[in-house]
Amino acid sequence: MDEHDRARGDLAEAVATLKADTVGEIVVHGSATLVHGLVDKGLVDEFRLVVFPVILGGGRRLFGDTGTPATLRLVSATPFGPDGVLLLIYGR
């Protein structure tokens, strides 16, 4: 079974296997569908959000409709550069 096939199975089982086989952090970049699935199953320990101060007027909701509300706590807020870009880290 390759990594692509493993991702098609049970998400919680795939994450448990990945955690057992990985040293360090596991980060998901750019997959809203995967992140929604991980959030719905309570498998996300930390959110790292980069906020760019640009008004676009529309777009996809970051978290969509989640089944259970999650209370997050701000761990850190770090500004980058002169444009006001922020890295916000939230924990569960």
Domain 3-91: CATH architecture, name and number where available: 3-Layer(aba) Sandwich (3.40)
Kindly state the average pLDDT of the residues 55-75.
78
Sheet holding 73-80, edge to edge: 46-51, 85-91, 73-80
Domain parsing of the chain, residue ranges: 3-91
Kindly state the average pLDDT of the residues 7-20.
82
Kindly state the average pLDDT of the residues 10-31.
87
- Where is pLDDT greater, at 13 or 68? 13
pLDDT at 4: 46
The average confidence (pLDDT) of the chain is 83
